[in-house]
Structures are given as structure tokens and as C-alpha cells.
Amino acid sequence: MEDYGLIGDCASCALVGRNGSIDWLCWPRFDSAACIAALVGTEENGRWLVAPVEFVTSKRAYRDSGMVLETIFETRTGRVALIDFMPIDAAAPTIVRIVEGRGGQVEMTNKLKLRFDYGTSIPWVTRLPDEAGITAIAGPALVVLRTEVPLEGEDMRTVSNFTVKEGERFTFVMSYGPSHLPAPAAIDVDQALSHTLTYWEEWAGRCAYDGPHSHAVKRSLVTLKALTFAETGGIVAAPTTSLPEQIGGGRNWDYRFCWLRDATLTLVAMMAGGYYDEARRWRDWLHRSVAGSPEQLQIMYGIAGERQLMEWEVPWLVGYEGSVPVRVGNAAAGQLQLDVYGEVISALHLARRENLRQANYGWSLQLGLLEHLETIWKEPDEGMWEVRGGRKQFTVSKAFCWMAFDRSIKDIEDYDLPGPVERWRAVRDEIHAMICSEGFNKEKNSFTQSFGTDALDAGLLLLPVIGFLPGDDPRILGTVEAVERELLVDGFVLRYRTDETADGLSGGEGAFLACSFWLVDSYVVLGRYAEAEALFDRLVGLSNDLGLLAEEYDPHLRRQVGNFPQAFSHVALVSAAVHLRNRKVPVRGEMEEAA
């Protein structure tokens, strides 16, 4: 996974290997069917390679702070640059690949194999009538490729071999459109490049964070922005499906959707970075998506607020390094995860405090959610880790219910909003008392994953962060110690032990990067700054050469695992950096001091 770089246009994105191969592309949206799917299959499922026929090394970096990726190939005969980007604000979704000779001369190859419908549908390819290039049509989709380089059809793919000499430049421009309309028009490549560079530079330049690790923080925020669907303000958890949590394993999920949990945390990170527009747009997305009957609140939605996210397995894809099944859609959409109420309500609370313009139904929506929560908070749920082994009384879920009532009570107190505040105070206290008696194991001196068990859960690290108990409470100290004792692998944090939690899934998984950043936060809360710094540095050190993080890290194989790049990991990195710099972790719902 570390070999991939991300390019995107805030509608979709592509993963580009350090070998010049685009192996993942979904058009026109993040959640559309992939038309290039080699990432979770083989070359036969679609890829687009532009690279030297042979090279010795390749080195890459983003230009400036943005999403224009430059890969430099050194070959025995010369040096060549490949510049990849997806133009911002183009009339049609587009990928531009520019080949520039930077020394000597280099034999290059271009191999395009489009396979629509997640790597299975072979398109009908024809030459463009009046200009150089081809169109590929498969059902509703049309892709057009324009280039000065002569193209040939070979083995059901489009290829070209060409030579690039120092100072020479060739362009490949591929765009998507619906097949019942004329092919998208040609674009001005230089203008698109300069506009895209300026867009990202300007966006990154607005970052309010100033402090240690600012490069990693900026790269994380730019990555989060790239995972945002600009049209609606929704944010995907990751742009990929089924990158495995264990190489060869079956814990492979589709993350191209908008989780309320992940996205509300993104809102907090965006605001910490000074990006209030994005925060506002996400909050508006939230209002629209969850609008309607509070009993129908889902834990996740499509990027435009879609509710049906049917999960299915793709039998023709052999998976990333053999990790099957490859799944599309996500059955977690139908789960009950009570923490989501706390996440959403604390986000609304924070937005209110930060004076983000409110939709006029914001408070009535919150009231409706809380009234519903009042009827269901005692129920078991699937928890924040979305287990598939049956519902339980998860301690963290209950603590987030406590937070939902606590923040709403504060909203009533601070803004004179109408609501049954006395009743809610009583519920808040009842939840608190229940967690402290049922969710705390005296022998272990730790809170536990669910009531009456002695299993641990890294989500418990959030208890002081949400203000459930102060950081110096002996029960919190005991819980952090227990997590350190039982959930660390090589210093990185497992979200729980898969051998002691019946999560309904076989196999294991890597250390969860967001939880590892939460341990950094815990060390800050406890004043253990040197350990916080050291762990943060190690975690940032796991990023690939482009600063990208997956969901998890396998400490045994020493490689990233899980979907890539993952918003949750980058959000947690941003928050931990701010906390480390400020030597303070604000209670969730209070604003981070960004600048």
C-alpha cells in the first residue's frame, strides 16, 4: 500500500503506484464502480501504466503542498518525469499524465486497460474521428483518451511505445462522460495544471496550524480535503474497498462512504486546521442526511446522503495479495452503533459554539435525536468497531450516550434553547452511574470493553477526551495502564484483542492507527509528554514517502494494512499534533486552539 500515491479532484480519486501504474479509479464519484481495479485484482481488471520500459529507480513527491504528483524515473539511458493530477473544476472528471524528458533519452510505454463494473466489462474502443485518441464505451460509461503519442490496440488494451528525449513533453488526458452524450471536450493541459496547482497551494496555505510536525499535519488536511465530495460536503472514510486488515485475510471492507463517526471527527480536525467552510459544508451534509425520522438515523450514508448501501462480494476479483472477499457496499449501514448519537450531537454542539451558521432545523433535529436516544440507550449495540458477532453492552457506546445528553444539556444552559433539561440531567446521571458500576472491573482496575467482561477496548482511551471523567481519575489511570499492558504490539495499539472479542470474523488484524494516536492524546492528558512525543514520531514515521497512512499497521510485517489512505488515521494525526503542541486535550465539543 505504501507504494501508492493519491491524486484526486474532490469528486473521485486514483491510486498511482511508484511504478507509474494507476491501479484504482472509480468514475465519476468515489463510490462509482471502478473502471480500473488492479489494486484488488490483477492487471486484467484494469490498469493504466505510463512508465519507462525499464527503470533503475523512481522517486516521487507532491508538488508544493497539493495533489499534483511528480514521479522521477532514473533509467540507464536518461531521466524522465511523470506528472499526474486530476484537474480541479474541469468540465468532466479527468486524469492528466504529463511525460517530460529531463535528461538523455528514455524508451517509454503506455498501457491502458479499462475494465468497467469493478474490473469485468470490456469496453468497445474506437478511434476519435477528428483528433488523436480513442473512446471506450461500456454501457452508460464513456472514457476518452487524447494524446499526441500514436495509440495501438493490442491484447484487448490500448498501448503505445515512444521515446522521450531531454526537453520533450507528451501528454495523456483521459476524461469520463455519460455514453449517451458526446465525448467530453479536450482541455488545455497547461491551464489545468496551473489552476490545480494554485487551487491546492491556496487551500493548503490557509492552514491555521503552526507548530511541530506541520508538514505531516498539512499533508493530512490536504488528504482529508481530497477525500471530500465537494458537491455535497460528504467525506469518505477512505477511497478504496477491501484493502485487507490482515494480508491474506477476510477483513476487507468498502470505505467509500460517509460514516458519521469518522466524518464528525474530520469536522473537528478541519476546524482545528482553520477550515471552517469545509466544516460548515459537512455540517450541512449531516443535517440533510440525517433529516427525517430520528428512529431511522443510520451510522453511515452515501456521499450524497444515500441510505441503501447493500453489501455484496465481487467474485471475479482475487483481492489485494489474495485477500478475499472483495466487498462492495457495507452492511454496517444497518447496524445500531450508539456512539454515533454522541458523535453527532457533540459535532452540532461544537458547530454551535463556533458559531457556524445553523440550519434553522438544527436544534429540532438534535431534540428529535435525543428523544429517540432516551428510548434506546439501554439497548445493546454493535459498538464503534462495528462488530459482526452480535450486540453487546459496549461501555464506550454508553459513554457516548452520556456525552449526547451532556452536550445537549449544555446547549440548553448556554443558549437558552427549549428542552426537558431536568429529565435529561437525570438520564445523564443514570448512564454515568451505570457505566461506573457495570463497565468498570475492580480486579483489573480498568474500564472494560462491555459490561461484565474483562476484555479491553482502545476506545476507552476516549473517556477523558469526552469529559466522562477527568484524566487524573484513578479509574482512567488504571484504564490507560491496562491498555498499555494488554493492547500494545510493539508500542502500537490494537483496538481490541481479536482472540478475546467475539467480533464474528475470522483472522486477526493490525494495530489501529487512530487508536495509537489516541494513546498519544492519553499521554498528553496524563502529562507524559516525552512518551507522547516519542509515540507520535513513531506513528508519523509509518507514513509512506508521500505522508499517507492506511487504517492499520502490521507490526510483524512492518507494513501498512487496511484501506488507504484512511481519514480516521489522518484525523487522529492532526488532533494529536495539536494536542501535543498545546500540551492539552480539550474536552470533545470544546474548540482546539489551532493557531
Ligand X SMILES: OC[C@H]1O[C@H](O[C@H]2O[C@H](CO)[C@@H](O)[C@H](O)[C@H]2O)[C@H](O)[C@@H](O)[C@@H]1O
- Of 104-112, 193-201, 259-267, 343-351: span binding ligand X (CB under 6 A): 259-267
In the shown chain, the binding pattern of residues 331 to 370 toward ligand X, with x for contact by CB under 6 A and - for none, equals -x--------------------------------------
Residue 48 lies near ligand X (rule: CB under 6 A) = no
Residue 523 contacts residue 535 (beta carbons within 8 Å): yes
- Please state, in angstroms and rounded to a whole number, the distance separating the CA atoms of residues 264 and 344: 7
- Of 117-125, 278-286, 381-389, 477-485: span binding ligand X (CB under 6 A): 381-389
- Of 82-90, 271-279, 353-361, 382-390: span binding ligand X (CB under 6 A): 382-390
Residues 224-243 that bind ligand X (CB under 6 A): 237
User: What does the block give as the cell for 418?
Assistant: 427549549
Residues 531-570 that bind ligand X (CB under 6 A): 568
* Residues 6+ away with beta carbon under 8 Å from 456: 446, 448, 449, 482, 483, 486, 487, 496, 497
What are 96's strand-pairing partners?
85, 173
Tell the burial category of 183 from Cβ atoms under 10 Å away from its Cβ (0-12, 13-18, 19+).
buried
- Of 109-117, 122-130, 254-262, 577-585: span binding ligand X (CB under 6 A): 254-262
- Please state, in angstroms and rounded to a whole number, the distance separating the CA atoms of residues 360 and 256: 30
Residue 384 lies near ligand X (rule: CB under 6 A) = yes
CB closer to ligand X out of 49 and 460: 460
Using CB under 6 A as the binding criterion, the count of chain residues that bind ligand X stands at: 13
Residue 7 contacts residue 84 (beta carbons within 8 Å): yes
- Of 114-122, 383-391, 400-408, 471-479: span binding ligand X (CB under 6 A): 383-391
Q: Which of 18, 115, 261, 398 binds ligand X (CB under 6 A)?
A: 261
- Of 253-261, 284-292, 369-377, 398-406: span binding ligand X (CB under 6 A): 253-261
Q: Which of 102, 388, 391, 528 binds ligand X (CB under 6 A)?
A: 388
Q: Which of 55, 62, 253, 451 binds ligand X (CB under 6 A)?
A: 253
Minimum separation from the CB atom of position 441 to ligand X (A): 23
Q: CA torsion 13→3→270→210, rounded to 10°?
A: -140
Minimum separation from the CB atom of position 129 to ligand X (A): 45
User: What does the block give as the cell for 518?
Assistant: 489516541
In the shown chain, the binding pattern of residues 271 to 310 toward ligand X, with x for contact by CB under 6 A and - for none, equals ----------------------------------------
Minimum separation from the CB atom of position 385 to ligand X (A): 4
What is the number of residues in the chain? 595
Tell the burial category of 158 from Cβ atoms under 10 Å away from its Cβ (0-12, 13-18, 19+).
buried
- Please state, in angstroms and rounded to a whole number, the distance separating the CA atoms of residues 24 and 491: 32
Minimum separation from the CB atom of position 593 to ligand X (A): 27
Residue 394 lies near ligand X (rule: CB under 6 A) = no
Q: Which of 24, 176, 385, 402 binds ligand X (CB under 6 A)?
A: 385
- Please state, in angstroms and rounded to a whole number, the distance separating the CA atoms of residues 271 and 470: 24
Least Cα distance to 444 among 414, 395, 482, 498 occurs for 482
Q: Letter for the amino acid at 179? A: S
Least Cα distance to 7 among 52, 48, 53, 56 occurs for 48
Q: Is 156 left (phi over 0), alpha (psi -120 to 50) or beta?
A: left
Q: Which of 74, 84, 100, 262 binds ligand X (CB under 6 A)?
A: 262
* Residues 6+ away with beta carbon under 8 Å from 321: 244, 247, 248
Minimum separation from the CB atom of position 429 to ligand X (A): 28
Least Cα distance to 500 among 460, 453, 541, 542 occurs for 453
Least Cα distance to 238 among 252, 250, 224 occurs for 224
| Dihedrals phi, psi of 127, to nearest 5 degrees | -80, 150
Minimum separation from the CB atom of position 35 to ligand X (A): 23
Minimum separation from the CB atom of position 393 to ligand X (A): 18
Q: Helices H, strands E: what count in the chain?
A: 13, 28
In the shown chain, the binding pattern of residues 2 to 41 toward ligand X, with x for contact by CB under 6 A and - for none, equals ----------------------------------------
Minimum separation from the CB atom of position 561 to ligand X (A): 13
Minimum separation from the CB atom of position 260 to ligand X (A): 9
Residue 255 lies near ligand X (rule: CB under 6 A) = yes
- Please state, in angstroms and rounded to a whole number, the distance separating the CA atoms of residues 350 and 356: 9
Q: Which of 158, 264, 266, 330 binds ligand X (CB under 6 A)?
A: 330
Residue 386 lies near ligand X (rule: CB under 6 A) = yes
CB closer to ligand X out of 388 and 391: 388
By CB under 6 A, name the binding residues for ligand X.
237, 253, 255, 259, 261-262, 330, 332, 384-386, 388, 568
